[in-house]
Amino acid sequence: MAAITSCLVCQASGLELLMHVRDAGIPHEASGHNFAYASTLLLACQQCGSGILQKYSHDCWNYWEDEDWDMYWWYVLDLTSMQTIRQLLETCPAAQDPSCNCTLHLILRGSETIYGGIQHANAPSSHADFARLTIVQEGDHSKLQLVQKES
């Protein structure tokens, strides 16, 4: 799995990997891979400050009319949400550990249930469709919420 390298908002290159949010399965070509692998990364643009949540799914089970082997979806987090994320990141004991159960990892894993109506891409692209997410307070906890789709 490759991460996107240019910001979807301002097109600047050099995104920073902030977190490895989720992993499921074993990556393709790694020992023990058994058809499917999924991963979610949180990246940050050093130019405009936007956050990019990248979801990746690989499934090499193949049959006629099957879906693509590699699929990417992107969600952009607004600057206010990124301020919250950076504050919570300071309390995360293991940002690159997808099994971490800190508050921030749990909030970002909540994105797994969000569908932004965007078409998947087969490879990273700085001109890909994306949806916008924001962090909202709901009672005594925070969660991700879909704002809008963009292309």
75-127 pLDDT, tens per residue?
999 999 999 999 999 999 999 999 999 999 999 998 777 877 787 777 777 67
Beta bridge partners of 20: 41
Give the domain range for residue 142: 16-150
Quote the pLDDT of residue 1.
Answer: 58
Confidence of residue 37 (pLDDT cuts 50, 70, 90): confident
Q: Is the pLDDT of residue 62 over 70?
A: no
Domain count within the chain: 1
Question: If we measure between CA atoms, which residue out of 148, 128, 107, 117 comes closest to residue 7?
Answer: 128
Q: Would 89 be classed as within a structural domain?
A: yes
Q: Would 5 be classed as within a structural domain?
A: no
Q: Would 140 be classed as within a structural domain?
A: yes
Quote the pLDDT of residue 124.
Answer: 76
Question: If we measure between CA atoms, which residue out of 30, 49, 57, 39 comes closest to residue 120?
Answer: 57
Is the Cβ–Cβ distance between 20 and 50 less than 8 Å? Answer: no
Q: Would 96 be classed as within a structural domain?
A: yes
Stated pTM of the model: 0.83
